[in-house]
Copies of this chain bind each other. A is one copy, B any other.
C-alpha cells in the first residue's frame, strides 16, 4: 500500500479518472433512494467493523507526518480516534435517514401555451472536493455527494494518503457489492500541485469544485478552476451589543462564542459595544474574558474602561484570529455598528444582542451576511444547528449557496416541460 500512496498518477490517468467520474455521474443521478441508502449504511457498517484497520493505516500516516515535522495542530486533524470514527459513522447513518432531494418537484404550473411546467431538483453531476489532511472528510463528502446523486472526486491532503486509500477501498467494495460503478467516488490521495491545476482545468468533466481548507488553498482553487467553485473565505464574525441588550446574556454569549471552539470559522472575532452600555459591560466582559484565557485587543475608548485589555493594532479589526483572542470596539449606535460590519466583515456570521425586535430586524435587513443571529451565539451558523443535517462547509459567496452547504446545496433545479405538440 505504501507504494500506491506515494505514486503520483500520470496526466492521462488523471484525465481517465475524471472521465470515469463523469460517466459514473450519469448512473448515480438516477439511483433510487433506497439503493443509495443501502450503500451509505453499508459503508457505515464496514467502517465501523474495520475501525482498528483504519486506525492502523492512520498510525502510519501520523508517524510519517511527525517525521516530516508537521505541526501538532495539523497532526491532531490527521489523527483518527475511535470516537471520531464512530461520530463519522453516525453521520453517514444520519445522511441515509434524510430525505432524498433528487427528483423533488419544487415548482409546478400550467403556462398560457398549455404546457405543464415542472422544476425538478437534480444532481449537480461531478463534484471535486479539495481538502487538507483530514481523512474523515473523505467519508463525509462521499456520503453527502452520493445521497445528492453526484459522483465525486476527492483530493485530500497527501499526509493522509494511507488512511484515504483505506477509506476508498471500503467505499469501493460497498459500491461494487451493491452493483454500482465504483467511479462514483474517485479518491486521489496524492497529486502534485501542477496536477491539481490540470484537474481544475477539466470543466467538461467536473461541475463544481469545492475547496475546504486554509486561505491559500481557497485562493489556489479560485485562481485555477475553470468550472464554478463554491468559496469559503474567512469567518470574521461580529457580535454587536445594542444599547438595550440584556447584559447578562451579552456576557454569556460574547464569552462562549469566542471560547467554545476558537479555531472554527463561526467563532466571534470582534465585539462591538454600544457606547451607552460600555461603562457597565466592558469591565465585566473583559474580566470574564481574562478568566476564560482570552486576550482582548481593544480600541482606545474601550481600553480606558478595563485593565484587562491590550491596545488593538491597525489590523486587529477585520481579522480572523482563530485563537483565544478577540477585538473590542465601542460604537455610537446601530449605523456605526453596521458600517463597521460592512467594512470589516466577511459575509459569514454576525450577531446582534438587543431586547428591541425592531432594532433586531433593522440589523438583519442591513447586514446581509450568510447568517444574522439575534440574541444567540454566532456559532449557531452550522448545518446541524440550522437543521440541514450534515454540511460540506460554509459558503461566503452569495452565488449558488450562501451559508452552510447541506444536501440540497449539492443539487440544482432543472425544467421538465410536458406538452401536446405545442410549436413556437
The total of chain A residues at the interface (CB under 8 A) is 69
Which stretch in A44-52, A135-143, A274-282, A367-375 binds the other chain?
A: A367-375
Residue of B with least CB distance to A419: B376
**Are A368 and B422 interface neighbours, CB within 8 A?**
no
What is the distance, in angstroms, from A307's C-beta to the closest C-beta of chain B? 26
Q: Give the complex CA separation of A286 and B305 in angstroms.
A: 87
**Are B122 and A373 interface neighbours, CB within 8 A?**
no
Which residues on the B side are within 8 Å of A113 (C-beta)? 380, 385
Q: Which of A109, A125, A228, A249 has the most CB of B within 10 A?
A: A228
Which residues on the B side are within 8 Å of A377 (C-beta)? 422-424
Instruction: Known contacts A111-B387, A207-B398, A385-B113; decide if A414 and B421 are in contact (CB<8 Å).
Output: no
A8-52 residues with Cβ-Cβ distance < 8 A to B are 26, 29-30
Which residues on the B side are within 8 Å of A421 (C-beta)? 246, 249, 252-253, 375-376
A73-95 residues with Cβ-Cβ distance < 8 A to B are none
Which stretch in A54-62, A160-168, A324-332, A358-366 binds the other chain?
A: A358-366
Which stretch in A180-188, A190-198, A399-407 binds the other chain?
A: A399-407
Copies in the complex: 2
**Are A419 and B374 interface neighbours, CB within 8 A?**
yes
What is the distance, in angstroms, from A356's C-beta to the closest C-beta of chain B? 13
Residue of B with least CB distance to A114: B376
Q: A387 is contacted by which of B117, B260, B402 (Cβ under 8 Å)?
A: B117
Q: Give the complex CA separation of A109 and B223 in angstroms.
A: 38
Q: A372 is contacted by which of B231, B252, B414 (Cβ under 8 Å)?
A: B414
Which residues on the B side are within 8 Å of A103 (C-beta)? 365
Q: Give the complex CA separation of A253 and B419 in angstroms.
A: 11
Q: Which of A111, A208, A416, A420 has the most CB of B within 10 A?
A: A416
A386 located at the interface, meaning its Cβ lies under 8 Å from any Cβ of chain B in the complex: yes
A115 located at the interface, meaning its Cβ lies under 8 Å from any Cβ of chain B in the complex: yes
Q: A117 is contacted by which of B226, B342, B386, B418 (Cβ under 8 Å)?
A: B386
**Are A111 and B385 interface neighbours, CB within 8 A?**
yes
Chain A contact residues: helix, strand, loop or mixed: mixed
What is the distance, in angstroms, from A273's C-beta to the closest C-beta of chain B? 17
**Are A424 and B256 interface neighbours, CB within 8 A?**
yes
A284 located at the interface, meaning its Cβ lies under 8 Å from any Cβ of chain B in the complex: no
Q: Give the complex CA separation of A219 and B412 in angstroms.
A: 23
Q: Give the complex CA separation of A364 and B412 in angstroms.
A: 15
Residue of B with least CB distance to A381: B415
A397 located at the interface, meaning its Cβ lies under 8 Å from any Cβ of chain B in the complex: yes
Q: Give the complex CA separation of A387 and B257 in angstroms.
A: 45
Q: Give the complex CA separation of A191 and B229 in angstroms.
A: 27
What is the distance, in angstroms, from A393's C-beta to the closest C-beta of chain B? 15
Q: Give the complex CA separation of A109 and B124 in angstroms.
A: 26
Q: Give the complex CA separation of A123 and B372 in angstroms.
A: 15
**Are A380 and B252 interface neighbours, CB within 8 A?**
no
A222 located at the interface, meaning its Cβ lies under 8 Å from any Cβ of chain B in the complex: yes
Residue of B with least CB distance to A402: B412
Instruction: Known contacts A387-B111, A399-B124; decide if A423 and B375 are in contact (CB<8 Å).
Output: no
What is the distance, in angstroms, from A111's C-beta to the closest C-beta of chain B? 5
Which residues on the B side are within 8 Å of A375 (C-beta)? 418-422
**Are B376 and A122 interface neighbours, CB within 8 A?**
no
**Are A368 and B424 interface neighbours, CB within 8 A?**
no
Residue of B with least CB distance to A382: B424
A417 located at the interface, meaning its Cβ lies under 8 Å from any Cβ of chain B in the complex: yes
A319 located at the interface, meaning its Cβ lies under 8 Å from any Cβ of chain B in the complex: no
Q: A222-B226, A257-B423, A370-B414 are in contact. List 9 more A-B contacts (CB 8 A).
A: A111-B386, A207-B397, A228-B399, A260-B423, A260-B424, A371-B415, A376-B422, A380-B424, A402-B413
**Closest 5 pairs (CB-CB, A-B):** A376-B419, A228-B399, A256-B423, A371-B415, A249-B421
Q: What are 5 A-B contacts with C-beta separation under 8 Å?
A: A371-B417, A380-B417, A398-B412, A402-B413, A403-B415
